[in-house]
Amino acid sequence: MEQERLVQIRRDLHKIPELGFQEKKTQAFLLQFIQELPQHSLHVKTWETGVLVFIDGTNPTQTIGYRADIDGLPITEETGYDFASVHEGRMHACGHDFHMTIALGALQRLAEDPPVQNVLFVFQPAEEGPGGALPMLQSEEFIAWKPDTIFALHVAPEQPVGAVAAREGLLFANTSELFIDFKGKGGHAAYPHLTHDMVVAASHFIVQAQSIVSRNVPPLEPAVLTVGKISGGFVQNVIAEHARIEGTLRSFTGDTMELMKNRIEKLASGMQESHECEISIDYGSNYYGVYNTPAFIPPFEQIVKDTGYSYVNCDPAMTGEDFGYMLKDIPGFMFWLGVDSPSGLHTSRLQPKEEALVVGVDVVEATIRNLLD
């Protein structure tokens, strides 16, 4: 019965993915669901497009926080689901529909049978960008209910259903977005000698930037430089006066991140000369690495096993998460929840198995009830 209800919630949310800070329908859905729960121990606030729900514990000494991110991605869905996104060009391709459903499932169980400690459920906007965690953390609404400990999960397509993975210390990388604009002299395709072609400049830049990780970053330091999007020009027979590349930088240390940015800037300054153009760089949002407080991991492993699921001690990943900002300020941790999808995160065919929803609810509920007792 509960499984059917969780599946329905997930499917309803899956249909309405919205980008960061535009999650109006998602927020309305969450509020409607929360309003239908037993209200005796609940307090609800909104912040921007997010929602905060505080549950009074029965004999509290502390507050434990649980955070779920709520935004979707600008990806066109290709799952073939009959409950696919009805928002064109938007998809829950990072599993945030699962994250919200699991939080609602755990919230329902705790609203019906409140735990000893106080609980704060955090439904946070804009994880994929521009980043909702930091401003939410600094908001009056959050500060008034600030928890002593906080945790969160992320779906893991490569792990089987029933597996929960975590580690002490660094789980996710530092990230920085990367937006670079190239501006030069465009013109007729037949007169290239009179122009400074920005498609050519951007292409050279992308190829040369590949040597930053392979030739500047020390070989034992993990680093990623990905260009995910390139755009520019007007039409096939006009030489482009503008091109733009959009990407992301990932590292485990602040020094490596600085080194990559430094090399990008040097490369850009050399290319301004060689391609006779103007290059401007914007690093967009930067996320702090997700660092799990080591002391919580052994008790969490025990809770997972006691709940009947398997625990995996995993390696750190180059994914990013603005939850890193919350963990910088509040002790806690993040874990991976196995959802066994053949297609990975940020793909148009991500198909997490819905049997994992109840696993998530069980683990989140058990952690809230037992971690601090």
Ligand X SMILES: CC(=O)N[C@@H](CCC[C@H](N)C(=O)O)C(=O)O
- Residue ranges of the annotated binding site are 94, 96, 128, 154, 346
Active-site residue 128, yes or no?
yes
Binding residues for Mn(2+), by number, are 94, 96, 128, 154, 346
- Amino acid code (one letter) for 237: N
Interface pick for ligand X out of 54, 287, 309, 333 (rule CB under 6 A): 287
**Residue among 18, 77, 97, 128 flagged as catalytic:** 128
Q: Is 241 in the site for ligand X (CB under 6 A)?
A: no
Decide whether 148 or 181 has the Cβ nearer to ligand X: 181
In the region spanning residues 20 to 49, those forming contacts with ligand X, defined by CB under 6 A, are none
Interface pick for ligand X out of 26, 63, 85, 175 (rule CB under 6 A): 175
Q: Is 319 in the site for ligand X (CB under 6 A)?
A: yes
Decide whether 188 or 229 has the Cβ nearer to ligand X: 229
Q: Is 154 in the site for ligand X (CB under 6 A)?
A: yes
Q: Is 321 in the site for ligand X (CB under 6 A)?
A: yes
Residues touching ligand X: how many (CB under 6 A)?
14
Interface pick for ligand X out of 248, 256, 341, 367 (rule CB under 6 A): 248
Active-site residue 258, yes or no?
no
Sole window of 9-17, 104-112, 114-122, 313-321 interacting with ligand X (rule: CB under 6 A): 313-321
Decide whether 33 or 287 has the Cβ nearer to ligand X: 287
**Residue among 18, 69, 127, 197 flagged as catalytic:** 69
In the region spanning residues 109 to 128, those forming contacts with ligand X, defined by CB under 6 A, are 128
Min CB(250)–ligand X separation in Å:
7
Q: Is 69 in the site for ligand X (CB under 6 A)?
A: no
Catalytic residues: 69, 128
Residues making contact with ligand X (CB under 6 A): 94, 128-129, 154, 175, 177, 248, 285, 287, 319-321, 345-346
